[in-house]
Amino acid sequence: MDASASLQKYYETFAKRMKMAGIKPHHKIAIGVSGGADSMALCILASQWKCTELGENAKTGDYVNGLEGFVVDHGLRSESSEEANCVQNWVSKLGIRCDISKCEWPNGPPKQGHLEEAARNARYKILKEKCMHYHIGVLLVAHHADDQAELFVLRLSRHSGVAGLAGMAFVCQMFADTSSACSGTCDDYSVLLVRPLLCFIKDDLYKICKDSGQQWAEDPSNRNLAFTRNRIRRSLNNFQSCNFRSEIQTLIAGCRRAREFLNRTCDNLMKEALSLNSEYGYAVVDVQKLFVGSLSDLCLSRFLILVLQFISQKHKPVRGRAIEMLINYIHNFPCKNSLTIGGCIICPAPGSKGLKILVCFCDSPLAPSSQICTVQKLYNEDMQSVTNEVKNIICLSSEFSSSVGKIESEVPFLHVEKTEAVLDEARRLQLISESTLSRLLSLRDEMSKDFGDKPENGKFEENVLENQTINRSVFEKMLIPFEQSYYFMNRFVISWEKTKYNQDHDLNHLDAVYGSLLGQTNINADRKCSACVIGADGFAWIRYMKEVDWSSLAHLVEAQLPKKCIYPSKIDRGRMTVGMHEGQNTSTCADYVIQKAREALVRLKTLPIPARRGLPVIVNRQGTLLGIP
């Protein structure tokens, strides 16, 4: 039997998976390539699929059309660059254009214990950026069934819930870390992350490479038992029973069905019970609508976790006792008190008599500096085309999704709250045998020793954080230099720009362009006007609003500021001409600041007090308030 015949079943399975994902052969596709047997097998399957489906139109020269390989060199081993070049050569011989990117570690390589997570985050960041650069909307990665089983055991030992035990999604969206400064309106740019090999086991991928005569590399770090995943892999390899392997996959599939049902329920709740104030970044939840019909606490907690994550922009979800407190708070409606949890303030909405709640961002000393990033002016017609393509793929994928599991009574684990109960329920439903249950419990206990009673095991982390000594000044404010745009909390775009008037008159004036409550702030460092409060370096800082800012606005309205800086009034200062002169419809910076402070107070009074605290504000080096986006 020739190689192509022996691999035919794998080609057919791969084609079905791509169809399930809604991906067609003409779509531009990227592949994340490490050089291991997994990713090399993925390259073989993807190349063969494209060539088979596109026929004579599949290639231009030696390369398959619309297929790019991306190799990420983490730079953590001395031989990594040489290995990356070797992998690039292998991928190119398969007819796939291949690009190498190297990770930069400005603060030095990550330390042991954080190495895997840091490398993974850096890798996906680079892969997303490369997809944006090449205008590619689909990224294939080579995770397989054995990876899924390892992740299941890892999360089992960490006492994850049903959604966590469901493992890696077959298809998910990755949104860009930096915002596109679009001319006109466009949707957020995203890349569709697809894992077409989740139904393949590791041995399948070895066979694909061997029968294709393809070399691969073995990462030496995969043998390092200092990494938890490697210890789990070794333990799983001690159980070679086919029944054990297949039953784990059946159990994962059951958890995945539950997660899909939860996600659909959350989507409906988002439409029915949630209102987002996109301008000021807070949410209103209609609590009454959460209890229309029989909603399990699992569905309710999933919904609330998603809302908290969106408002707080935290990557890790609220867990353990924290979510239990929130569920109890919701069940005791009409809500009367306030609750601070997961980086958010939750309180009754004004005038709702406790039937609606506000979810507002709460300034936290643990807020990461990644809350602000530079806006990249990347938008063009190609990117809009990619965005539309991703939407179409998602629509096609939904057409192939199974209708099984859309009825609540058919979905397992929906009323299971604890990890142990998931295994017991799986045994009751005969998804796993008694021997598999025993082995999983043994693996869980063995791996749980690595984690102990850490907060991530479901313990309530809020009180732990309160008892730590934290230097709040580290996160007090973040620098935003002049003439750059910034995306803050995935909600606010902030930029500093010089007006035409300033350029024509060669003055050291800067304008803060916000959105705007305080509006533009005119700066003249030469005249030292007290209303012009940015230094000559043009730097400003961003932080969250405090009570003192409210007092500052009130003080500005009543203040008698020196009227030194004069500019023509009743005209957009960004469009002034050189012909303007003092005395011609003039006003002063002080007049302008007072006017804008008054307007800011009026608008802020319309906002609930908790929502005000979540607003970012612009300050100068001394902390003086300049503007409120």
3-state secondary structure of 608: coil
Rounded to a whole number of angstroms, the CA Rg of the chain reads: 28
- pLDDT at site 600: 85
3-state secondary structure of 63: strand
In order of start, what are the domains of the chain with their CATH numbers?
3-238 (3.40.50.620), 240-367+402-470 (no CATH), 477-627 (no CATH)
Distance of CA 254 to the CA centre of its chain: 26
β strands within 395-466, DSSP E: none
3-state secondary structure of 347: strand
Give the length of the chain: 629
**What mean pLDDT is predicted for residues 474-502?**
61
pTM of the model: 0.79
pLDDT tens readout for residues 242-283: 889 999 999 999 999 999 999 999 999 999 999 998 778 899
Cis before 516 (ω within 30): yes
pLDDT band with cut points at 50, 70 and 90 for residue 532 = low
CA 565 to CA 529: how far, in whole Å? 6
Which of 252-266, 563-577, 608-622 ranks highest by mean pLDDT? 252-266
Q: Where are the alpha helices (DSSP H) in 192-289?
A: 202-211, 228-237, 242-273
**DSSP H or E segment with residue 163:** helix 162-165
- pLDDT at site 571: 38
Residue from 287, 419, 420 nearest 355 by CA: 287
CA 553 to CA 594: how far, in whole Å? 9
Check if the beta carbon of residue 222 is closer than 8 Å to that of residue 230: yes
Both tokens of 198, joined, read 């989740």
Q: Where are the alpha helices (DSSP H) in 94-139?
A: 115-133
Residue from 4, 17, 51, 33 nearest 123 by CA: 33
Distance of CA 162 to the CA centre of its chain: 21
- The C-alpha angle with vertex 265 and arms to 260 and 267, in degrees rounded to 5, equals 95
Check if the beta carbon of residue 502 is closer than 8 Å to that of residue 581: no
Which of 244-253, 479-488, 496-505, 507-516 ranks highest by mean pLDDT? 244-253
pLDDT tens readout for residues 388-428: 888 888 888 876 665 445 667 788 998 887 888 999 999 99
Half-sphere exposure of 347 (CA within 13 A, CB side): 14
**What mean pLDDT is predicted for residues 520-539?**
48
Contacts with 321 (C-beta within 8 Å, 6 or more apart), sequence order: 458, 459, 460
Check if the beta carbon of residue 340 is closer than 8 Å to that of residue 362: yes
The burial class, CB within 10 Å (0-12 / 13-18 / 19+), for 313 is: middle
Residue-wise burial string across 242-259, b where 16 or more C-beta atoms lie within 10 A, e elsewhere: eebbebbbebbebbbbbb
pLDDT tens readout for residues 135-179: 999 999 999 999 999 999 999 999 888 999 999 999 999 876 654
pLDDT tens readout for residues 3-58: 677 899 999 999 999 999 999 999 999 999 999 999 999 999 999 999 999 999 99
CA 405 to CA 346: how far, in whole Å? 33
Both tokens of 552, joined, read 């500052």
CA 384 to CA 550: how far, in whole Å? 41
Average pLDDT, whole number, for the chain?
79
Residue from 118, 11, 128 nearest 70 by CA: 128
Check if the beta carbon of residue 514 is closer than 8 Å to that of residue 496: no
3-state secondary structure of 173: strand
pLDDT band with cut points at 50, 70 and 90 for residue 509 = very low
Q: Which one is predicted more confidently, 410 or 355?
A: 355
- pLDDT at site 456: 39
Find the helix packing angle between 419-428 and 434-448, rounded to 10°: 170
Beta partners for residue 374, in sequence order: 486
pLDDT tens readout for residues 213-248: 999 998 888 888 888 889 999 999 888 788 899 999
